[in-house]
Structure 1
């Protein structure tokens, strides 16, 4: 009797501790098979860099970066209501306290934001969100270990020197013109 009571309490505690909050990762997984979405996982190999020519700072920045997860919703005449629903879901997720907003731009029909997860010294992911009412929206998760704002800025300079393999990004063609 005592044993069943303890088991019942443990199950109740486990069930009550489950979090129904949506995360970006769960949102990506839930929509990975949805025909209205384009899902891409891109590794650092997309950059086609000669690592021997990189400075130690650039190498450190590149090593902090693991991959990009891209989820894009392509809006058309048949899915406009779903576009509104899905973009509201993403906005709601990004309002959660774990996502710290760095910047937001809103011109009415175009919206973009940059957020991050983690602390300023140990960023686990950067999130770039862009929405254009006539085309759709995209969410890009930049995943890595021990990333920091300096690494991201350095990575941006490395991007200028890279020969990006555009074949990996082909499914996004025409989404954000």
Structure 2
């Protein structure tokens, strides 16, 4: 009987500490992807096709990216209250200690920050968050496997538009134009 009591007590403690009640960024994304106030977009890595003009190092860097999730809240007159509520929620989520700030910048009324999850040299998720009080806010989750942020930044600086095949984005752009 003592063993059963200890087991139940142990499970209760584990459940208590594992369920802290805070919403994760993934849960926030899933909860809002069908919300009419949001635009959501999931881009598989197959849309980021490697081009022959890329160096081997650029191809290897791009291959660490598996998927990109984008969730945007365009601000309109009729959704100002919801905008403020959702902005507060996302900012609360991003204040969690598990997110490490890579960089922040402010320009012309727009605030943005780049955060990451994982180790500095082997990142599993990069989060790009931007907000503009007039236009809205958006968050992009770049999911991958052991991504190196320095190499990603270097690749983005040196990549020409014709180095990445963006044909896969054409249908996506058309669907946004039709809405």
TM class, shorter-chain normalised?
0.7 to 0.9
Residue number in structure 2 paired with 1:22: 23
Question: Which secondary structure state, in structure 2, belongs to the residue aligned with residue 25 of structure 1?
Answer: helix
Superposition RMSD on alpha carbons, in Å?
2.1
Residues 50 and 62 in structure 2, CA contact (< 8 A), matched pair in contact too? no
Describe the superposition over 1:117-156 as per-residue Cα deviations: whole angstroms up to 9, x where unpaired.
Answer: 1111111111111111122111001111111123312441
Aligned length: 172
Residues 50 and 59 in structure 2, CA contact (< 8 A), matched pair in contact too? no
Residues 70 and 138 in structure 1, CA contact (< 8 A), matched pair in contact too? yes
Give the TM-score normalised by the residue count of structure 1.
0.85
Pick closer, same or farther for the CA change 1:60–1:41 going to 2, 3 Å.
same
Residues 61 and 154 in structure 1, CA contact (< 8 A), matched pair in contact too? no
CA distance in 1, matches of 2:89, 2:22: 11
- Structure 1 gaps, min length 5: none
Does residue 87 of the first structure (1) align with residue 84 of the second (2)?
no
Residue number in structure 2 paired with 1:131: 131
Describe the superposition over 1:32-77 as per-residue Cα deviations: whole angstroms up to 9, x where unpaired.
Answer: 2211111111022323442x44322012101111110101112111
Residue number in structure 1 paired with 2:59: 59
More displaced 10-residue stretch of structure 1: 19-28 or 137-146: 19-28
Give the TM-score normalised by the residue count of structure 2.
0.84
Does residue 120 of the first structure (1) align with residue 120 of the second (2)?
yes
Residue number in structure 2 paired with 1:41: 42
CA distance in 1, matches of 2:45, 2:27: 23
